[in-house]
A and B are shown apart, each in its own frame.
Chain A
Amino acid sequence: MLELTLQAIYTGLLSGGFYALVAVGLALIFGTMKVINLAHGELVLLAAYVAYATESKLGLNPLLALPIAMAVVVSAALLTYFLTNHIKKDRELNSLILTFGLGIILTNSLLMVFSANIYSTSTEWFFEGVVIGDTLFSMRSELLAFVVGVLSLGGLYWWLNHTWHGRAIRAVSSNLDAAKLMGMNPKQAEMWSWGVAGILATLAGCMLYTTSVIHPPIGHGLTIKAFIITVLAGMGSIPGVLVGAFLIAIIESLTATFFQSSLSELASMGIFLVVLIVLPSGLFGNKRIH
Chain B
Amino acid sequence: MLKVKNLSLNFGGVKALQNVSFEVREQEVLGLVGPNGAGKTTSFNVFSGNVRPTSGEVTYDGHDILKSSMHKRVKFGIGRTFQIPQPMHELTVRENLMVSQRFGRPDKKVDQQRISEILDSVNLLHKSESDAATELALTERKALEVAKALATEPSLLMLDEVLAGLETTGKKLFMETLKKIRKQFNLSMIVIEHDIETISNLCDRIVVLNFGKVIAEGTPDETFRNPEVIRSYTGEENA
Contacts and interface: CB of A to CB of B under 8 A. Distances in A.
Majority secondary structure of chain A interface residues (helix, strand, loop or mixed):
helix
A168 B99 contact: yes
Given A164-B102, A171-B99, A181 B79 contact: yes
A185 B71 contact: yes
Interface in B156-193: none
12 contacts: A164-B102, A170-B91, A171-B88, A171-B99, A178-B87, A178-B88, A178-B148, A180-B69, A182-B100, A182-B104, A182-B148, A184-B103
B90 A167 contact: no
Enumerate the 6 nearest inter-chain pairs by beta-carbon distance, A residue then B residue, closest first. A183-B104, A183-B74, A178-B86, A183-B103, A180-B70, A182-B100
Interface string A41-56: 0000000000000000
Contacts of B69: 180, 185
B89 interface: yes
A180 B48 CA distance: 10
B85 to A, nearest CB: 9
A177 B104 contact: no
B91 A181 contact: no
Contacts of B151: 182
A82 to B, nearest CB: 18
Contacts, number: 78
Give the most central of A168, A182, A183: most B CB within 10 Å. Answer: A183
B88 A175 contact: yes
Given A183-B100, A183-B103, A167 B91 contact: yes
Contact of A175 (B48, B86, B103, B104): B86
A174 B85 CA distance: 13
Given A168-B99, A168-B103, A171-B99, A181 B70 contact: yes
A73 B86 CA distance: 36
B207 interface: no
Contacts of B87: 175, 178
Contacts of A225: none
Given A182-B103, A183-B103, A184-B71, A174 B148 contact: no
Interface string B68-93: 01110011000110100011111100
Interface of A: 164, 167-168, 170-171, 174-175, 177-186, 287-288, 290
Nearest to B48: A181
Contacts of B88: 170-171, 174-175, 178-179
A138 to B, nearest CB: 36
Given A183-B71, A183-B100, A183-B105, A290 B90 contact: yes
Given A181-B86, A184-B99, 15 more contacts: A164-B103, A170-B88, A170-B91, A171-B91, A171-B103, A174-B89, A177-B70, A178-B82, A181-B70, A182-B103, A182-B104, A183-B75, A185-B69, A185-B103, A290-B90
Contacts of B104: 182-183
